[in-house]
Amino acid sequence: MIDVAGFSFNKLVILGVGLIGGSLARGLRERGDVAGARAVIGVGRTPASIARALELGVVDAAVALSDDAALQAALAGADYVLLAAPVAQTQPLLERIAPFLEASTIVTDAGSTKSDVVAAARAALGERVGQFVPGHPIAGRESSGADAALPDLYEGRNVVLCALPDNPPDVVERVAAMWRATGATVHEMTPEQHDRVLASVSHLPHLLSFALVEQILNSPDAALKFSFAAGGFRDFTRIAASSPEMWRDICVANRAALLDELDAYTAVLARLRAAVEAADGAALEAVFARSRVARTEWQEQRANVSAAADPEK
C-alpha cells in the first residue's frame, strides 16, 4: 500500500514503464508512505525494458505483456491501471487486459491525444468503458525510457482529464486525486478541446522542429550549416530529439486537428513570406513585436504560476 497525503491505494499497474509511466511510479512511491510490497507493478513489451525498470527500482515487480498468467495475477485486485504507451497501442492494450480486468479497477491513460483514445476505449471495453477515464499529463522531456523518469516530473504541471458521460463522478475524482498526489493540477476538457489545444501548442511545434532538421539534412551544405548553428537552433530543435514512435502516433491519431493548425500556420508563413519578398519591414516588425509581447507575457504568467505553486522556488 502507498499513501500520499491521504491518497492511498494497494496496487497500481502501469502498462509501459518509460518516461511517463515511470515518473508516475516514482512520483507516488518517493512522495508517499510505502507499506508492504508490490504496490506498483510494471508491464512491459520487451524483456529489456522490464528488467531496466526493475533494476532502477521504479517498480516493485515487472511482468511481460505476453505472459497471460502473470498479467492476470498483476491485474488481480488492482486499484488503478495506467496506460503509458504510444497512443496507437491504446486499443490493443485495452483488448489485451480486458479479460483480466476486475469491475472495481479504474483504468486511465497518459496519451497525448484524446479523441482517438476515447474511440479505442469504446471499441475495446464496450459497456465497461465507464471504468476508463481518459487523461493526459502535460509533461515530458526529449529523453525517453525508464532511465529518464523523474519523481517530480508532474510537480506544478497540468493534467487534463476528458471524463466520459459513462464515468461515475467518484471514479473521475479518484483519477484526479492520483495526479494531484504527484503535485499536478487537474483540469477537465472535452476530447475535442484537448486535441485542438494540444495540436496547436505541442503537436505542431514538434512537427515544425523535426521539419527544420530534416530540411537542413536535405541541403548540400548540411555539415557547414550544423557547425554554425547556435543557441536559437538549439532551443528551436530540442524537441526534434523526441521519440519518433511516440510522435508518429500522435501525428496520425490527431491528424484532423493537426492539419487544421498546420494549415493556419502555413497561411501565416505565406503572409510573412510575402512581406519578406516585398522587403516590407513594417509588416514584419508588427508581427514580430506582437509575438514578442505575447511570448514575454506568457513567460511571466508561467513564472507567477510556478511561484504560487511552490513559494520556495
Interface size with its own copies, residues (CB under 8 A): 91
**Residue 225 found at the interface with its own copies (CB under 8 A):** yes
**Residue 291 found at the interface with its own copies (CB under 8 A):** yes
Q: Which is nearer to its own copies, 34 or 197 (CB)?
A: 197
Question: What residues have CB less than 8 Å from 185, skipping those under 6 apart?
Answer: 156, 157, 158, 159, 309
**Residue 34 found at the interface with its own copies (CB under 8 A):** no
One residue of 95, 102, 235, 310 binding its own copies per CB under 8 A: 235
Contact segment (CB under 8 A) with its own copies among 33-41, 62-70, 176-184, 268-276 equals: 268-276
**Residue 160 found at the interface with its own copies (CB under 8 A):** yes
Nearest to 203 by CA among 282, 279, 260, 128: 260
Report yes or no: 158 and 185 within 8 Å, Cβ to Cβ: yes
d(CA 292, CA 280): 19
CB of 176 to its own copies, least distance (A): 16
- Using only the alpha carbons of the chain, give its radius of gyration: 21
d(CA 146, CA 125): 28
CB of 306 to its own copies, least distance (A): 12
In angstroms, what CA-CA distances link 219 with 100, 110, 231, 298? 53, 37, 21, 35
Identify the H or E element spanning 80.
strand 80-83
CB of 260 to its own copies, least distance (A): 10
**Residue 294 found at the interface with its own copies (CB under 8 A):** yes
Q: Estimate the crossing angle of helix 90-97 against helix 115-125, to 10 degrees.
A: 30
CB of 239 to its own copies, least distance (A): 5
**Residue 64 found at the interface with its own copies (CB under 8 A):** no
Site for its own copies in 171-200 (CB under 8 A): 187, 193, 196-198, 200
Q: Checking DSSP bridges between strand 106-109 and strand 33-34, what pairing results, if any?
A: unpaired
In angstroms, what CA-CA distances link 89 with 37, 110, 275? 29, 12, 44
CB of 116 to its own copies, least distance (A): 11
Site for its own copies in 195-224 (CB under 8 A): 196-198, 200-202, 204-219, 221, 224
**Residue 290 found at the interface with its own copies (CB under 8 A):** yes
Site for its own copies in 241-260 (CB under 8 A): 241-245, 247-249, 251-252, 255, 258-259
Q: Virtual CA dihedral for 296, 151, 173, 7, nearest 10 degrees?
A: -140
Q: Which is nearer to its own copies, 97 or 163 (CB)?
A: 163
Q: Which is nearer to its own copies, 100 or 233 (CB)?
A: 233
One residue of 289, 304, 306, 307 binding its own copies per CB under 8 A: 289
Q: Which is nearer to its own copies, 35 or 287 (CB)?
A: 287
Site for its own copies in 88-117 (CB under 8 A): 88
Q: Read off the DSSP letter of residue 128.
A: G
d(CA 292, CA 112): 28
Handedness of CA 283, 284, 285, 286 (dihedral sign): positive
CB of 184 to its own copies, least distance (A): 12
